[in-house]
Amino acid sequence: MSYETIVYEPGDDGIGILSLNRPESYNAVNHLMMEELEAFWKERLYDLDTKVIILKSNAEKGFCAGLDMKEAGAMMPEMSPEEFYRFQARLGRVNLHMRRAPQPIITAVHGAAAGQGFSFVLASDIRVISPDARFCAAYINIGLGGADMSCSYFLPRMIGAGRAYEFMYTGKFMSADEAMNLGLVSRIVEKEKLMETALEYAKILISKNPLGLRLTKEAVNMNLDAGGLEQALNIEDRNQILITLANQTKMLKQQK
Protein backbone atom coordinates (compact mmCIF):
# COMPACT_ATOMS: atom_id res chain seq x y z
CA MET A 1 0.00 0.00 0.00
CA SER A 2 1.33 3.45 -0.90
CA TYR A 3 1.13 6.34 1.56
CA GLU A 4 1.56 10.10 1.41
CA THR A 5 2.10 11.07 5.05
CA ILE A 6 4.00 8.03 6.29
CA VAL A 7 6.75 5.84 4.85
CA TYR A 8 6.95 2.11 5.57
CA GLU A 9 9.99 -0.05 4.85
CA PRO A 10 9.30 -3.74 5.50
CA GLY A 11 12.50 -5.64 6.18
CA ASP A 12 13.39 -9.16 5.08
CA ASP A 13 14.75 -9.72 8.59
CA GLY A 14 11.34 -9.12 10.19
CA ILE A 15 12.08 -5.54 11.24
CA GLY A 16 9.73 -2.95 9.74
CA ILE A 17 10.53 0.77 9.85
CA LEU A 18 7.65 3.26 9.93
CA SER A 19 8.46 6.95 9.48
CA LEU A 20 6.14 9.88 10.11
CA ASN A 21 6.61 11.89 6.92
CA ARG A 22 5.17 15.40 7.02
CA PRO A 23 8.49 17.18 7.69
CA GLU A 24 7.23 20.53 6.47
CA SER A 25 4.56 20.46 9.21
CA TYR A 26 6.64 18.94 12.04
CA ASN A 27 4.73 15.71 11.37
CA ALA A 28 1.51 17.32 12.60
CA VAL A 29 -1.29 14.76 12.25
CA ASN A 30 -3.77 15.80 9.59
CA HIS A 31 -6.85 13.87 8.51
CA LEU A 32 -4.95 11.92 5.86
CA MET A 33 -2.21 10.88 8.28
CA MET A 34 -4.86 9.70 10.72
CA GLU A 35 -6.44 7.55 8.00
CA GLU A 36 -3.10 6.17 6.84
CA LEU A 37 -1.91 5.31 10.35
CA GLU A 38 -5.27 3.70 11.09
CA ALA A 39 -4.97 1.53 7.97
CA PHE A 40 -1.30 0.74 8.62
CA TRP A 41 -1.75 -0.49 12.19
CA LYS A 42 -4.88 -2.50 11.30
CA GLU A 43 -2.92 -4.25 8.54
CA ARG A 44 -0.24 -5.27 11.03
CA LEU A 45 -2.79 -7.40 12.87
CA TYR A 46 -2.48 -10.02 10.12
CA ASP A 47 1.18 -9.49 9.25
CA LEU A 48 3.08 -12.63 10.29
CA ASP A 49 6.28 -11.61 8.51
CA THR A 50 6.97 -8.48 10.56
CA LYS A 51 8.21 -9.29 14.06
CA VAL A 52 9.15 -5.79 15.31
CA ILE A 53 8.36 -2.24 14.16
CA ILE A 54 10.56 0.82 14.64
CA LEU A 55 8.65 4.12 14.64
CA LYS A 56 10.63 7.27 13.83
CA SER A 57 10.35 10.76 12.37
CA ASN A 58 11.48 12.04 8.98
CA ALA A 59 11.30 15.62 10.26
CA GLU A 60 14.64 17.16 11.14
CA LYS A 61 13.15 19.37 13.88
CA GLY A 62 11.49 16.71 15.95
CA PHE A 63 9.17 13.76 16.33
CA CYS A 64 5.58 15.02 16.09
CA ALA A 65 3.81 18.28 16.95
CA GLY A 66 0.45 16.61 17.54
CA LEU A 67 -2.74 17.46 15.71
CA ASP A 68 -2.50 19.71 12.64
CA MET A 69 -4.31 22.66 14.22
CA LYS A 70 -4.38 24.66 10.98
CA GLU A 71 -6.34 21.97 9.18
CA ALA A 72 -8.45 21.14 12.24
CA GLY A 73 -9.32 24.80 12.75
CA ALA A 74 -10.65 24.98 9.20
CA MET A 75 -12.52 21.66 9.37
CA MET A 76 -14.20 21.79 12.78
CA PRO A 77 -16.61 24.69 12.18
CA GLU A 78 -17.97 22.76 9.20
CA MET A 79 -18.47 19.53 11.13
CA SER A 80 -21.70 18.38 12.72
CA PRO A 81 -21.46 17.13 16.33
CA GLU A 82 -21.66 13.57 14.98
CA GLU A 83 -18.83 14.17 12.51
CA PHE A 84 -16.65 15.80 15.12
CA TYR A 85 -17.22 12.92 17.54
CA ARG A 86 -16.29 10.42 14.82
CA PHE A 87 -13.08 12.35 14.07
CA GLN A 88 -12.15 12.53 17.77
CA ALA A 89 -12.85 8.82 18.27
CA ARG A 90 -10.88 7.73 15.21
CA LEU A 91 -7.89 9.91 16.07
CA GLY A 92 -7.66 8.61 19.64
CA ARG A 93 -8.06 5.01 18.56
CA VAL A 94 -4.94 5.12 16.45
CA ASN A 95 -3.19 4.57 19.80
CA LEU A 96 -5.45 1.60 20.50
CA HIS A 97 -4.54 0.13 17.12
CA MET A 98 -0.87 0.47 18.07
CA ARG A 99 -1.45 -1.57 21.23
CA ARG A 100 -3.50 -4.16 19.32
CA ALA A 101 -0.75 -4.63 16.75
CA PRO A 102 1.02 -7.82 17.87
CA GLN A 103 4.49 -6.53 16.98
CA PRO A 104 6.50 -4.78 19.71
CA ILE A 105 6.97 -1.11 18.73
CA ILE A 106 10.32 0.59 19.33
CA THR A 107 10.07 4.37 19.03
CA ALA A 108 13.07 6.59 18.30
CA VAL A 109 12.39 10.17 19.41
CA HIS A 110 14.28 13.39 18.84
CA GLY A 111 12.98 16.88 19.51
CA ALA A 112 9.44 17.49 20.67
CA ALA A 113 6.66 14.92 20.90
CA ALA A 114 3.54 16.88 21.81
CA GLY A 115 -0.15 16.03 22.04
CA GLN A 116 -0.93 13.06 19.85
CA GLY A 117 2.80 12.78 19.14
CA PHE A 118 3.35 12.17 22.85
CA SER A 119 0.58 9.58 22.81
CA PHE A 120 2.29 7.73 19.93
CA VAL A 121 5.34 7.50 22.17
CA LEU A 122 3.26 6.28 25.13
CA ALA A 123 1.52 3.65 23.00
CA SER A 124 4.89 2.15 22.02
CA ASP A 125 6.72 -0.61 23.88
CA ILE A 126 10.35 0.55 24.01
CA ARG A 127 11.41 4.20 23.79
CA VAL A 128 14.86 5.41 22.73
CA ILE A 129 15.39 9.17 22.80
CA SER A 130 18.00 11.83 22.11
CA PRO A 131 19.04 14.44 24.70
CA ASP A 132 16.91 17.10 22.99
CA ALA A 133 13.73 15.00 23.21
CA ARG A 134 10.88 16.52 25.21
CA PHE A 135 7.29 15.52 25.78
CA CYS A 136 4.10 17.44 26.37
CA ALA A 137 0.46 16.54 26.98
CA ALA A 138 -0.42 19.79 25.24
CA TYR A 139 -4.20 19.51 25.32
CA ILE A 140 -4.71 21.75 28.36
CA ASN A 141 -2.67 24.46 26.63
CA ILE A 142 -5.17 24.85 23.79
CA GLY A 143 -8.26 25.15 25.99
CA LEU A 144 -9.18 21.47 26.11
CA GLY A 145 -9.10 18.99 28.97
CA GLY A 146 -5.66 17.71 29.84
CA ALA A 147 -6.75 14.09 29.37
CA ASP A 148 -6.88 13.20 25.68
CA MET A 149 -5.57 10.74 23.08
CA SER A 150 -5.12 7.95 25.68
CA CYS A 151 -2.71 10.05 27.76
CA SER A 152 -4.79 9.67 30.92
CA TYR A 153 -4.60 5.88 30.52
CA PHE A 154 -0.92 5.41 29.73
CA LEU A 155 0.86 8.15 31.65
CA PRO A 156 -0.31 7.33 35.22
CA ARG A 157 0.50 3.65 34.65
CA MET A 158 3.99 4.45 33.42
CA ILE A 159 5.20 7.20 35.75
CA GLY A 160 2.70 7.14 38.62
CA ALA A 161 -0.43 9.21 39.09
CA GLY A 162 1.21 12.05 41.03
CA ARG A 163 3.61 13.12 38.29
CA ALA A 164 1.07 12.31 35.57
CA TYR A 165 -1.39 14.77 37.15
CA GLU A 166 1.31 17.43 37.09
CA PHE A 167 2.07 17.06 33.39
CA MET A 168 -1.58 16.79 32.32
CA TYR A 169 -2.78 19.70 34.48
CA THR A 170 0.04 22.09 33.59
CA GLY A 171 0.79 21.12 30.00
CA LYS A 172 4.48 21.68 30.70
CA PHE A 173 7.22 19.85 28.84
CA MET A 174 8.96 16.80 30.29
CA SER A 175 12.69 16.85 29.53
CA ALA A 176 14.73 13.88 28.33
CA ASP A 177 16.35 13.55 31.76
CA GLU A 178 12.97 13.65 33.51
CA ALA A 179 11.63 10.99 31.15
CA MET A 180 14.62 8.77 31.93
CA ASN A 181 14.41 9.31 35.68
CA LEU A 182 10.67 8.59 35.68
CA GLY A 183 11.22 5.29 33.88
CA LEU A 184 9.37 6.36 30.74
CA VAL A 185 12.24 5.64 28.35
CA SER A 186 14.88 2.95 28.03
CA ARG A 187 17.89 4.83 26.66
CA ILE A 188 19.14 8.34 25.94
CA VAL A 189 21.65 8.42 23.08
CA GLU A 190 22.97 11.07 20.72
CA LYS A 191 20.62 11.84 17.85
CA GLU A 192 22.89 10.27 15.24
CA LYS A 193 22.78 6.99 17.19
CA LEU A 194 18.99 6.79 17.58
CA MET A 195 18.36 4.38 14.72
CA GLU A 196 21.47 2.34 15.52
CA THR A 197 20.23 1.87 19.08
CA ALA A 198 16.65 1.14 18.01
CA LEU A 199 17.97 -1.50 15.60
CA GLU A 200 20.07 -3.03 18.39
CA TYR A 201 16.90 -3.54 20.43
CA ALA A 202 15.01 -4.81 17.37
CA LYS A 203 17.69 -7.40 16.61
CA ILE A 204 17.54 -8.68 20.17
CA LEU A 205 13.77 -9.04 19.90
CA ILE A 206 13.76 -10.86 16.55
CA SER A 207 16.17 -13.40 18.02
CA LYS A 208 13.36 -14.49 20.35
CA ASN A 209 10.45 -16.83 19.74
CA PRO A 210 8.07 -14.85 17.45
CA LEU A 211 4.99 -16.29 19.13
CA GLY A 212 6.55 -15.54 22.50
CA LEU A 213 6.96 -11.87 21.52
CA ARG A 214 3.36 -11.56 20.44
CA LEU A 215 1.98 -13.29 23.50
CA THR A 216 4.18 -11.20 25.77
CA LYS A 217 2.74 -8.00 24.31
CA GLU A 218 -0.74 -9.44 24.65
CA ALA A 219 -0.09 -10.35 28.29
CA VAL A 220 1.20 -6.85 29.07
CA ASN A 221 -1.92 -5.35 27.47
CA MET A 222 -4.24 -7.64 29.39
CA ASN A 223 -2.47 -7.23 32.70
CA LEU A 224 -2.49 -3.43 32.55
CA ASP A 225 -6.22 -3.87 33.10
CA ALA A 226 -6.23 -7.11 35.10
CA GLY A 227 -8.43 -7.14 38.15
CA GLY A 228 -5.79 -8.81 40.29
CA LEU A 229 -2.98 -11.33 40.57
CA GLU A 230 -5.17 -14.30 39.64
CA GLN A 231 -6.14 -12.74 36.30
CA ALA A 232 -2.49 -11.91 35.61
CA LEU A 233 -1.45 -15.49 36.35
CA ASN A 234 -4.23 -16.90 34.15
CA ILE A 235 -3.05 -15.02 31.06
CA GLU A 236 0.59 -15.95 31.75
CA ASP A 237 -0.30 -19.64 32.22
CA ARG A 238 -2.33 -19.68 29.02
CA ASN A 239 0.48 -18.07 27.03
CA GLN A 240 3.16 -20.44 28.28
CA ILE A 241 1.03 -23.47 27.44
CA LEU A 242 0.36 -22.10 23.93
CA ILE A 243 4.06 -21.50 23.32
CA THR A 244 5.02 -24.95 24.65
CA LEU A 245 2.43 -26.66 22.43
CA ALA A 246 3.56 -24.61 19.42
CA ASN A 247 7.18 -25.62 20.06
CA GLN A 248 6.22 -29.28 20.40
CA THR A 249 4.29 -29.15 17.14
CA LYS A 250 7.29 -27.57 15.41
CA MET A 251 9.61 -30.29 16.71
CA LEU A 252 7.25 -33.06 15.56
CA LYS A 253 7.11 -31.58 12.06
CA GLN A 254 10.90 -31.41 11.94
CA GLN A 255 11.17 -35.07 12.95
CA LYS A 256 8.88 -36.26 10.14
* pLDDT tens, position by position, 17-58: 999 999 999 999 999 999 999 999 999 999 999 999 999 999
Average pLDDT over residues 181-197: 97
Are residues 111 and 99 part of one domain?
yes
Query: Residue 249: pLDDT above 90?
Result: no
Share of the chain above pLDDT 70, in %: 99
How far apart CA 210 and CA 208 sit, in angstroms, is 6
Query: Residue 237: pLDDT above 90?
Result: no
Contact between residue 103 and residue 51 where contact means Cβ atoms under 8 Å apart = yes
Residues 6+ apart with CB under 8 A from 158: 122, 164, 182, 183, 184
Considering the domain boundaries, does residue 1 fall inside one? no
Are residues 171 and 248 part of one domain?
no
Are residues 230 and 133 part of one domain?
no
pLDDT for 236 equals 75
Are residues 216 and 201 part of one domain?
no
pLDDT interval class at 16 (50, 70, 90): very high
Domain range for 159: 6-206
Are residues 231 and 141 part of one domain?
no
pLDDT for 76 equals 82
Which of 185, 206, 227 is the last residue in one of the domains? 206
Are residues 195 and 90 part of one domain?
yes
Number of domains in the chain: 2
pLDDT for 174 equals 98
